[in-house]
Amino acid sequence: MKLFFVTGNLNKLREVREIMGELAPFVEVVGMDLRVKERQADSLEEVAAEAAREAYAKLQKPLFVEDSGVFIEALKGFPGPYSAYVYRTIGNRGILRLMEGVKDRRATFKSVIALCLNEREPLLFIGSVEGEVAKEEKGGGWGFDPIFIPRGLDATFGELGKDKNKVSHRRRAVEALARYLNELRGKA
């Protein structure tokens, strides 16, 4: 089956394609950079659901969108649903600055996928991973990868390279999506 992934972020497209190729290889994920306006909402769920609705209204084809963010405990959940904007402005250096001398470095990286197969309400698939904010940028990757250390590991997402896709929030959300699509296929 062909499934559109509405995104302008090529890093996300690459990651999702790789994970779906492993977990649901019968799905062809087609990237589509359809500009949909995101609602200014304090939850990723609302942002993703609304974007999926709007994209489906335009495209009228099976599609999903993904919204993700990092929620830092000591900063009351900042940057959360505004992660992309915050990354573009103050960046990882800004986050590290806000966290200077802060002992509680706990953070959660979260991914929400909203799937629209038809006119009905989008289905949401959620993945998250606990971890902490690193004390300095380490490794490559993109976005907040160099400053997020998933719990139980000794490396940032950036340092994990391709292995990020085995443990990430996005991996977990795509797993839930793939499970659903596999079930649908079983029934068909």
Q: How far is the CB of 97 from a second copy (least distance, A)?
A: 6
- Does 180 bind a second copy (CB under 8 A)? Our answer is no
Q: Does the annotation mark 42 as catalytic? A: no
Q: How far does the chain reach from its first CA to its final CA, in angstroms? A: 12
Binder to a second copy among 9, 30, 31, 39 (CB under 8 A)? 39
Considering only residues 83 through 112, tell me which ones interact with a second copy, judged by CB under 8 A.
85-86, 88-90, 94, 97-98, 100
Report phi then psi at 134, rounded to 5. -65, 165
Cβ neighbours of 39 (radius 10 Å): 14
Q: How far is the CB of 4 from a second copy (least distance, A)?
A: 21
Of 67, 145, 154, 163, catalytic: 67
Binding track over 49-88 against a second copy, x by CB under 8 A? -x------------------------xxxxxxxx--xx-x
Burial 10-28 (b: 16+ CB within 10 A, else e): eebbebbbebbeebbeebe
Question: With left for phi above 0 and alpha for psi between -120 and 50, is residue 111 left, alpha or beta?
Answer: beta
Structure tokens at 115: 């799937």
CB-wise, 81 or 146, nearer to a second copy?
81
How far is Cα of residue 181 from the mean position of the Cα atoms in its chain?
18
Q: Show which residues are catalytic.
A: 67
Chain residues that interact with a second copy, rule: CB under 8 A? 37-42, 46-47, 50, 75-82, 85-86, 88-90, 94, 97-98, 100
